[in-house]
Amino acid sequence: MHHIHKKQPELQPVVVQRKFIGGLIQWMLPKLPKAFRKFMEAHQDEPIKSITVYRSPLDHLATGAINVLTAGNWEDIKHKAGMDKLFHVYMIINNKYTYEKESVPKIGPVKDADFRRPNAEALQIPVRRSLKMGDFIGNAEKEMGEKYYKYDAWENNCQDFLLGSLKGSGLVTPAASSFLKQDIKKLVEETPSLSKYLGRELTDLAGAAEKLYSEVVDKRGGIRHQTFQHGKRKHIGHHYDIGGRIIF
């Protein structure tokens, strides 16, 4: 009797090349972007007096990208999963700093727009003990392990990031869990495997590119500049992302 061996599908050269380049960049660079590291060097001893978490519906760029990845079927998929909308969540610390995860973890000076993202809702998190910025981030890294640095829209997204960060410092409440975490199990089941695969791969590549860009351009304190526009140096802040918001 002859055994029939199924031939394994071969990855196309462009996919192999992309995975190799993205993986090499991730391996060569630190786990956190330079902007994040520099910001924490400057603010690690600052006490945390207030934490507010926000949730806002995914913007048109994110929903448009998901719709492309699902071949135009995103609304049907959401309907089958019984979900009306998906939220991006983020945190504002001391009313001065925005903390979130897109393709990579981010922290930096808050923008006015962060207080009024379209249809955003807010929840105050009680901080009843002494807690420094450096301890909060360190606790979050210990709590989440490697998941702290990586992003997966289906299994390790922005919602998991904030919950893990709060849990690390003992700040999770039932209200916070309900506010931040959506049950997307049915949505995951309804989404085609290829769409989930492409989403993960593109987000990984965006994260690698963002980290590489950060190593090149970010300055001390996590402040990013664009060199000379119309003869002047233009400050564009920390939250410029070359790919994260486009992917989920």
User: Domain map of the chain by residue range?
Assistant: 42-246
Model confidence pLDDT, tens digit, residues 182-229: 887 777 777 778 777 777 777 777 777 787 788 788 765 565 554 433
Rounded to 5 degrees, φ, ψ at 60 are -65, -30
Of 69 and 94, more confident: 94
Dihedral class, residue 148 (left if φ above 0, else alpha if ψ from -120 to 50, else beta): alpha
Q: Record the pTM.
A: 0.75
Model confidence pLDDT, tens digit, residues 132-185: 999 999 999 999 999 999 998 888 999 999 999 999 999 999 999 999 998 877
Task: Look over the chain and give the mean of its residue pLDDT values, rounded to a whole number.
Answer: 78
Rounded percentage of the chain residues whose pLDDT exceeds 70? 76
Taking alpha carbons only, the member of 153, 162, 242 closest to residue 205 is 242
Tell me if 61 sits within 8 A of 244, measured CB to CB. no
Q: Is the pLDDT of residue 230 over 70?
A: no
Which residues touch 237 (CB under 8 Å, ≥6 apart)?
108, 109, 111, 223, 224
pLDDT of the residue at 204: 73
Tell me what the mean pLDDT of segment 30-42 comes to. Answer: 93
**C-alpha–C-alpha distance, residues 220 and 198, integer Å:** 35
Weakest mean pLDDT among 70-74, 91-95, 166-170, 182-186: 70-74
**Nearest-10 crossing angle of helices 34-43, 193-217:** 60
